[in-house]
Amino acid sequence: MTTNLPVPREAVLIVNARSRRGAALFEQARRKIEAAGIRLIAAHPVTDPDLLDDTVRDAIRAGAPMVIVGGGDGSLSGVVDDVVGKDVVFAILPLGTANSFARTLGIPLDLDGAIETIATGKRRRVDLGMIDGDYFANAAAIGLSPMIGETVPHDLKKYAGRIGYLAWAVWCFARFRPFRVFVDDGEKTHRMWGSEVRILNGRFHGGVEMSEDACVESGEMMIQIVTGRNRWRLAWDWYARFFRIRRRDQTVSEFRGPQLKLDTRPHHRISIDGEVLARTPVTVRVAERAIDVVVPT
């Protein structure tokens, strides 16, 4: 839902300097944002990701009308909790590996395009996802993704990008096993075998479009399960989605609603926008129209 309010012309820039391109592009981003007509009240390259939350909170507490956060999906998801319920606009510089939230919002992935969006774009009120009490921006996953997220060497992800991430995913896939999944939609509990569970607020996960129907303005969350006990169904599903093959949805079951309960046997860790932060069982909710973001006109 777009609003008639203008995008602020003043902001605080906060960049996760540990993200894939954060340290290299911070100074360039600072100069180009100011050249585009946005006055920066302050600019912070954050070298310790644990301090990202505090830096965003301090900027909002000081009255910043807009915070521009540069980093990957994990960085963005980690700070959206601080933006909910505050009179502040959230703007994005996609500097990570997959940049799924930026893709969902239609924000260009190159630095110049993202800055042009901030300078000339519009405000849009979007939903966030919630897992128990934790807000997230784009997608969460159970199965292979948390296994990769917990074990992938940071330098491999930083310097080799998506290719390095894919190579590590193949290594993890060889050691992975399917599991039992239970989804309670409020009317009945659905039981099935699965090799991956995706909890979607937006269309993308891992930089790949997972659903044409998941939407940040739908007022619903989507749980998408790659079904069956054969883990090669998961490999086919990712292949089909990466190459946009028409029959890709034959491998999944989908459930939607404002609130869904999710469990697995055995209990599994949950990767939330790339960071392993929860464990089943959980309650999945939508936080409708939770934050204002800047998107292209």
Per-residue model confidence as pLDDT tens digits over 107-147: 999 999 999 999 999 999 999 999 998 999 999 999 987 88
Residues 169 and 144: beta-carbon distance below 8 Å = yes
Residues in the chain: 297
Cβ within 8 Å of residue 226, ≥6 positions away: 143, 194, 195, 196, 197, 233, 234, 237, 251, 252
CATH 3.30.465.10 assigned to domain 10-126? The reply is no
**Which residue shows structure tokens 């839902």?**
1
Residue ranges of domains in the chain: 10-126, 136-289
Of 227, 221, 157, nearest to 194 (Cα)? 227
- pLDDT for residue 232: 87
Q: What is the residue-level pLDDT of the chain in tens, covering all 297 positions?
A: 777 899 999 999 999 988 778 778 999 999 999 999 999 999 999 999 889 999 999 999 999 999 999 999 989 999 999 999 999 999 999 998 889 999 999 999 999 999 999 999 999 999 999 999 899 999 999 998 788 767 777 666 666 666 776 787 788 888 889 999 999 999 999 999 999 999 999 999 989 999 989 999 999 999 999 999 988 888 888 888 888 887 666 789 999 999 999 999 999 999 999 888 999 999 999 999 999 999 999
- Specify the fold of 136-289: Tumour Suppressor Smad4 (2.60.200)
